[in-house]
Amino acid sequence: MQLPFNATVTVDLSEQEFYCKRLYSGLLQAQALANIGHWELDLINKTLYWSDEVYRIFGLVPQEFYATYEAFLRYVHPDDTDMVNDVYTTSLKEKHGYFVEHRIIRQNGEIGFVEERCEHEFDASGKPIRSIGTVHDITGRKNAENELILASAVFEKMSDGVLITDPNQKIITVNSAFSKISGYAFKEVKGKTPNTFSSGWHDNAFYQKLWSDINKKGQWNGEVIDRRKNGELYTAELNIIALHNKNGILTNYISIVNDISEKKEKESLIHNLAYFDSLTNLPNRVLFQERVISKIPALKRDSKKMALLFIDMDNFKNINDTFGHLTGDRFLIEVAKSIKSLLREQDTFARLGGDEFTVILDDVKSIVDIASVADKIIDRFKNPVMIEDREFFTGASIGISIYPDDAQSYEELMRAADTAMYHVKESGKNSYQFYTQSMNEKITERMLIENDLRNAINKNELFLEYQPKVNLETKSVYGMEALIRWNHSKIGLIRPDRFIGISEETGQILQIGLWVAKQAISDTKMFHDEGNKLTVSINVSSKQLDDVSFVDDICNIVDDIGLDKSYIELEITESHIMKNVDKALIILNLLYAKGFKLSIDDFGTGYSSLSYLKKLPAKTIKIDRSFVLDIDKNEDDRSIVSAIIAMARSLGKDVIAEGSETKEHVDTLKFLSCNQIQGYYFSKPLKIDKFREFVYGFKWD
């Protein structure tokens, strides 16, 4: 039951006493339930009546409190007293009721909120005789309202962005900080999911982990990269909380977003200042050192090598002194740009300071690779550095150290590279040197070979030797292997092991290979013309097989000379074939179809499988000399050779053993029924004339 607020409550106890009493007590009960009390102020006798509920609202005990209007005013909150008094007196004067909301101070000091309604009674002359009113304790509602106002003010004023979704992740609300961060107004994202802000930066696994954390632990926090409405990415510290009601049912997700992109930028600025050279933007000494140190464990684990190049520019001091620091700076910027353009993305290139630069070449396979980088840098500075149409001549002095060969720690590697660089400076600048002398020698020799090989054919420095192949059954020389030699004008005789590999790398092998074929086939033709139908073996490198014109070129040579192709055996190493079997099969089949014989060289070292062996159109298998070396002493080697022979036979192939140096080798091979033999036991490779003598004088029993 509710008290009709606007009604004037008049209770006449003298009439209908009984009913009224009951009605009255019912009314009081109802009022108490609704936290409403009532009062009457007798304006004639100046007495104030308060119902029990009014006393309760004010926290007073009726027996201890003498209620008067003034006493009442004392319990009104001091800030509201004037207002309450004004409202009352004005309404009395103007003869109308009123409604007022104000604070009270309860007896125990607590602040409460009440709503008061009041009406007045006047006599016939219009003189006020009685005021009656109600007091409604609205403290609970007010506090809740205030809390809400507070919460929503906090929500709105927070500098962190807040986004609230329903359990289906549909956005219910966002605060203005969130709108500011994301660039989306609330109405633009209402009902959408937070996917709207995803930048595509994180993968699925990232979000899976995020949601699994929220589902398991009820919350997740971490850094995310999201996208603003204008497309810009930003880094945010994100805290997502799953909210459940009293019954444990998920009601909302709350995301608190803190835009930390500025902080990140500052951090990266600080990072840049600490780790990068401000002039060239290259890593500085500190970062370089960190990178070197961090690479070492992986290199160690994988047994890989790394080269450290220490570059010092020649002439820099001169440029700086003559043209000033500004020009010096621009010179260094140009130098840095030039060197960087010669390196791979993964190479670390740093400026240590002044005109000193360093490079790390990771995972280097050969010193040639390192030398070629150093060469490129030196070559670059054969041309001047241009600054505003002015030419500046410089040069690079480069010292190179290698991990782990020269040193195992950063400091030692630097010292070694620095020492090597110093040697370059001492010996005329504008060059490079390895820290280790043997490497310098190796690379010097290599450079010399590479350079001089270019003219070796023209200068008639190449020649062939032939090593006879003997058939133990027919007791005759049935063929020979052509082996190349280089008679260098300054160095003297150079064996193929020292230059074939280089010629393969430089591509010179193509020209050399054809020269060998021409020479060997002509020489063989001579024997044939004499009535001696020898078979010639020619070594063919994989580089030659990769060359599209190889088959045509060699066919042309043979046809020009006019030798039957079945007397030409092309030796290809097993490892070359196995590198790319399918590709090799195509070209070998082609050569086979043309009529050439094919032989698998160095057999046993290339791990070929039986299934491939079956497919190869090779007529002969040449057992590698490493198995022959100890064949008379080593049971294992003997078993391997025996197995190779059995397998070859079952595939219908011939077997020849190379490297047979002793009578014991030959006897063992014969015992294993390998009857084709090549090796020092019969003869070393011989120049053509000696070979001819050997062939015609050969006797064996």
Interface contacts to Ca ion, rule CB under 5 A? 539, 571, 601-602, 658
Piece of the chain touching ligand C2E by CB under 6 A; list 75-83, 183-191, 347-355, 654-662: 654-662
CA angle, residues 108, 110, 112, in degrees to nearest 5: 125
Cβ at position 481, least distance to ligand C2E in Å? 6
**Cα gap 370→432, rounded to integer Å:** 10
Q: What is the DSSP letter of 384?
A: P
**Cα gap 527→693, rounded to integer Å:** 12
**Cα gap 150→172, rounded to integer Å:** 19
Q: Which does 547 bind (CB under 5 to 8 A by kind): Ca ion, ligand C2E, none?
A: none
Cβ at position 470, least distance to Ca ion in Å? 16
Assess 685 for contact with ligand C2E (CB under 6 A): yes
Cβ at position 504, least distance to Ca ion in Å? 15
Piece of the chain touching ligand C2E by CB under 6 A; list 60-68, 139-147, 300-308, 659-667: 659-667
Instruction: State which residue, 74 or 459, has the beta carbon closest to ligand C2E.
Output: 459
**Cα gap 583→657, rounded to integer Å:** 27
**Cα gap 391→381, rounded to integer Å:** 11
**Cα gap 282→276, rounded to integer Å:** 6
Angle (deg, nearest 10), helices 325-342 and 316-323: 150
Q: State the residue number with the nearest CB to Ca ion.
A: 571
Instruction: State which residue, 31 or 573, has the beta carbon closest to Ca ion.
Output: 573
At 360, give phi and psi (nearest 5°).
-110, 125
Instruction: State which residue, 115 or 571, has the beta carbon closest to Ca ion.
Output: 571
Cβ at position 485, least distance to ligand C2E in Å? 7
Cβ at position 404, least distance to Ca ion in Å? 33
Q: Which does 328 bind (CB under 5 to 8 A by kind): Ca ion, ligand C2E, none?
A: none
* Contact (CB, 8 A) for 10 and 130: no
Report the residue from 601, 603, 668, 672 that binds ligand C2E according to the rule CB under 6 A.
601
* Contact (CB, 8 A) for 34 and 52: no
DSSP string covering 497-520, please? HHHHHHHHHHTTHHHHHHHHHHHH
Instruction: State which residue, 255 or 660, has the beta carbon closest to ligand C2E.
Output: 660
Binding residues for ligand C2E restricted to 27-86, rule: CB under 6 A: none
**Cα gap 186→164, rounded to integer Å:** 11
Instruction: State which residue, 459 or 495, has the beta carbon closest to ligand C2E.
Output: 495
* Contact (CB, 8 A) for 544 and 509: yes
Assess 554 for contact with ligand C2E (CB under 6 A): no
Q: What is the DSSP letter of 260?
A: -
CA distances to 306, 410, 432, 663 from 366, rounded to whole Å, are 10, 21, 16, 40
* Contact (CB, 8 A) for 624 and 602: yes
Cβ at position 512, least distance to ligand C2E in Å? 7
Assess 680 for contact with ligand C2E (CB under 6 A): yes
Piece of the chain touching ligand C2E by CB under 6 A; list 122-130, 250-258, 319-327, 655-663: 655-663
Angle (deg, nearest 10), helices 581-594 and 550-561: 20
> Closest Cα to residue 251, out of 259, 241, 261, 260?
241
Q: Which does 404 bind (CB under 5 to 8 A by kind): Ca ion, ligand C2E, none?
A: none
Cβ at position 614, least distance to ligand C2E in Å? 24
Instruction: State which residue, 349 or 682, has the beta carbon closest to ligand C2E.
Output: 682
Assess 539 for contact with ligand C2E (CB under 6 A): yes
Where b means 16+ CB within 10 Å and e means fewer, 113-140 reads bbbbbbbbeeeeeeebebbbbbbbbbbe
Q: Which does 467 bind (CB under 5 to 8 A by kind): ligand C2E, Ca ion, none?
A: ligand C2E
Q: What is the DSSP letter of 621?
A: E
**Site pattern 455..494 for ligand C2E (x: CB under 6 A):** ------------x---------------xx----------
Report the residue from 352, 374, 398, 500 that binds ligand C2E according to the rule CB under 6 A.
500
CB atoms within 10 A of CB 520: 26
Instruction: State which residue, 496 or 606, has the beta carbon closest to ligand C2E.
Output: 496
Assess 395 for contact with ligand C2E (CB under 6 A): no
Strand partners, 229: none
429: left (phi over 0), alpha (psi -120 to 50) or beta: left
Instruction: State which residue, 131 or 608, has the beta carbon closest to ligand C2E.
Output: 608
* Contact (CB, 8 A) for 253 and 241: yes
Q: Which does 37 bind (CB under 5 to 8 A by kind): Ca ion, ligand C2E, none?
A: none
Element (H, E) at 485: strand 476-488
Instruction: State which residue, 91 or 467, has the beta carbon closest to ligand C2E.
Output: 467
Instruction: State which residue, 152 or 634, has the beta carbon closest to ligand C2E.
Output: 634
Q: Which does 484 bind (CB under 5 to 8 A by kind): ligand C2E, Ca ion, none?
A: ligand C2E
Tokens representing residue 3 in the block: 């008290």
Instruction: State which residue, 119 or 637, has the beta carbon closest to ligand C2E.
Output: 637
* Contact (CB, 8 A) for 304 and 363: yes
**Cα gap 55→67, rounded to integer Å:** 9
Where do the H-state alpha helices sit in 231-383? 261-275, 285-301, 316-323, 325-342, 367-380
> Closest Cα to residue 563, out of 606, 586, 534?
534
Tokens representing residue 245 in the block: 């009601």
Omega of the bond leading into 404 within 30 degrees of 0 (cis): yes
Instruction: State which residue, 387 or 672, has the beta carbon closest to ligand C2E.
Output: 672
Tokens representing residue 157 in the block: 């004023």
Cβ at position 501, least distance to ligand C2E in Å? 9
How many of the chain's residues bind ligand C2E (CB under 6 A)?
Answer: 22
Report the residue from 516, 584, 591, 618 that binds ligand C2E according to the rule CB under 6 A.
516
**Cα gap 414→437, rounded to integer Å:** 17
Q: Tokens 């220490």 sit at which residue?
A: 310
**Cα gap 419→312, rounded to integer Å:** 12
Q: What is the DSSP letter of 86?
A: H
Report the residue from 389, 391, 497, 689 that binds ligand C2E according to the rule CB under 6 A.
497
Assess 496 for contact with ligand C2E (CB under 6 A): yes
Q: Which does 206 bind (CB under 5 to 8 A by kind): Ca ion, ligand C2E, none?
A: none
Report the residue from 37, 161, 194, 679 that binds ligand C2E according to the rule CB under 6 A.
679
Binding residues for ligand C2E restricted to 115-134, rule: CB under 6 A: none
Tokens representing residue 643 in the block: 């197995």
Instruction: State which residue, 458 or 611, has the beta carbon closest to ligand C2E.
Output: 458
Assess 284 for contact with ligand C2E (CB under 6 A): no
Instruction: State which residue, 319 or 480, has the beta carbon closest to ligand C2E.
Output: 480
Cβ at position 473, least distance to Ca ion in Å? 22
Binding residues for ligand C2E restricted to 613-652, rule: CB under 6 A: 625
Residue type, 625: R
Cβ at position 573, least distance to Ca ion in Å? 7
Assess 659 for contact with ligand C2E (CB under 6 A): yes
Cβ at position 622, least distance to ligand C2E in Å? 8
Instruction: State which residue, 320 or 467, has the beta carbon closest to Ca ion.
Output: 467
Assess 547 for contact with ligand C2E (CB under 6 A): no
What's the burial of 340, exposed, middle or buried (CB within 10 Å: 0-12/13-18/19+)?
Answer: middle
For ligand C2E, the binding residues (CB under 6 A) are: 467, 483-484, 495-497, 500, 513, 516, 539, 541, 571, 601-602, 625, 658-661, 679-680, 685
